[in-house]
């Protein structure tokens, strides 16, 4: 700052204000209290009392101190010599768009065609598992239970033997799609065995279907009849007392 600027600031300062006379005027001492300072008991002079509220003096009135105004005002800030360069608002980074000829990629970086191909492959795998796994598992169970060719055996008392050998042995066999039941009496020397041809299956994998047997009185004559179960269907052969026949 130069001497000229300093002198201009000093010249611009307002002249000091005069204080009011009441600030330096002494109060008269009370008459009935000797030895007290004047103005210590202002209630002795009723003319000096006022009931109005106190109001601080403003600029231009008596008793206003310029120094108080300068303390309340914020001091001027010095100018900065630093040069700040800011980028104009109009300059914005261009938005990135997928280039022509490039497929848009998903969140994992895969193209939609690749995702579609994987989805179709998974669907094909699930369909193949649903179509081929259950039959293969059932075939495995039948191989373990009935073997190949499919064979089922059981014993039953059907009244085709004597009292000493009343039990007969039955064998159900699937031989190349032909269901056969063989009855072997308890005494083969005295009673001849019988072979019953039940049905010929005409289907894919006919030689893999097992046949099972059951005995129940179906016509109410008191003699157990032969029931042959094949692939959810059963055939009934009736007991005539010596053998089983398809019709009575």
Phi, psi of 171 (to 5 degrees): -130, 120
Note the pTM of the prediction, 2 decimals. 0.50
Q: Which residue is listed with tokens 């003096």?
A: 57
Domains: count for the chain: 2
Q: Are residues 139 and 162 in the same domain?
A: no
Q: Are residues 194 and 127 in the same domain?
A: no
Q: Which of 161, 158, 159, 170 is nearest to 213 (CA)?
A: 170
The answer to whether residue 233 is domain-embedded is yes
Q: Which residue is listed with tokens 């089922």?
A: 152
Contact 139, 208 (CB under 8 A): yes
Per-residue pLDDT of the chain (248 residues; tens, 9 = 90+): 555 655 555 555 566 655 555 545 555 555 555 554 555 555 445 444 555 555 655 555 555 555 555 455 555 666 655 565 666 656 566 666 555 445 555 555 678 888 888 889 999 999 988 888 888 898 999 999 999 999 999 999 998 877 778 889 999 999 999 999 999 988 877 888 999 999 999 988 899 999 999 999 999 999 999 999 998 999 999 999 889 999 86
The answer to whether residue 81 is domain-embedded is no
Domain span at 209: 151-245
Q: Which residues contact 224 (CB under 8 A, 6 or more apart)?
A: 156, 157, 158, 159, 215, 216, 217, 239
Q: Are residues 126 and 175 in the same domain?
A: no
Q: Are residues 164 and 135 in the same domain?
A: no
Look up residue 126 and give its DSSP letter. Answer: H
Q: Are residues 214 and 189 in the same domain?
A: yes
Q: Where are the alpha helices (DSSP H) in 65-111?
A: 66-72
């Amino acid at each position: 700052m130069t001497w000229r600027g300093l002198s201009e600031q000093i010249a611009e300062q307002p002249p000091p204000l005069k204080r009011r006379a009441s600030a330096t005027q002494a109060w008269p001492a009370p008459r009935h209290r000797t030895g007290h300072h004047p103005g210590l008991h202002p209630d002795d002079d009723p003319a000096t009392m006022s009931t109005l509220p106190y109001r601080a003096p403003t600029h231009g009135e008596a008793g206003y101190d310029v120094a108080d105004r300068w303390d309340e005002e914020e001091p001027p800030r010095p100018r900065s010599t630093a040069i700040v360069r800011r980028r104009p608002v109009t300059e914005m980074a261009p938005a990135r768009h997928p280039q022509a000829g490039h497929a848009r990629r998903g969140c994992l970086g895969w193209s939609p065609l690749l995702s579609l191909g994987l989805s179709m492959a998974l669907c094909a795998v699930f369909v193949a598992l649903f179509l081929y796994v259950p039959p293969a598992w059932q075939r495995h169970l039948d191989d373990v239970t009935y073997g190949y060719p499919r064979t089922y055996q059981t014993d039953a008392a059907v009244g085709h033997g004597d009292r000493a050998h009343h039990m007969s042995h039955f064998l159900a066999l699937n031989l190349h799609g032909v269901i056969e039941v063989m009855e072997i009496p308890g005494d083969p020397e005295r009673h001849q065995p019988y072979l019953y041809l039940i049905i010929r299956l005409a289907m894919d994998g006919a030689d893999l279907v097992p046949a099972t047997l059951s005995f129940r009185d179906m016509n109410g004559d008191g003699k157990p009849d032969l029931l042959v179960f094949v692939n959810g269907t059963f055939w009934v052969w009736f007991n005539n007392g010596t053998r089983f026949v398809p019709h009575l």
